[in-house]
Amino acid sequence: FLLGNVFTIADSYLLVILVWLVKLKTNMTEWPSLVRYFSDIKKIASVQQSLEEEGIDKLTFSIDDSSDL
């Protein structure tokens, strides 16, 4: 988590930003830690439930050096 061992509002906000970046098909090659964070945070049951309810539970980053963004 961003601020220690507890999921906080900061984690929630970063999750929203990362979802936007996925939807914008942003090239995340330069930020592998954020890609890993996104993957890890989606394993939390409450996050999974939220993403499922929004219909965005299958989002993943595509790491591709040829992206224009």
pLDDT of residue 64: 52
pLDDT (0 to 100) of residue 23: 92
- Full-model pTM: 0.82
What pLDDT, on a 0 to 100 scale, did the predictor assign at position 68? 42
Question: For each of the chain's 69 residues, which pLDDT tens digit applies?
Answer: 999 999 999 999 999 999 999 999 999 989 999 999 999 999 999 999 999 999 999 988 876 544 443
Calculate the alpha carbon distances from 32 to 39, 44, 49, 55 in Å.
Answer: 11, 20, 25, 25
- How far from the centroid of its chain's Cα atoms is residue 45's Cα? 15
The position carrying tokens 């939390």 is 44
pLDDT of 63: 65
Burial of 31 (0-12, 13-18, 19+ CB in 10 A): middle
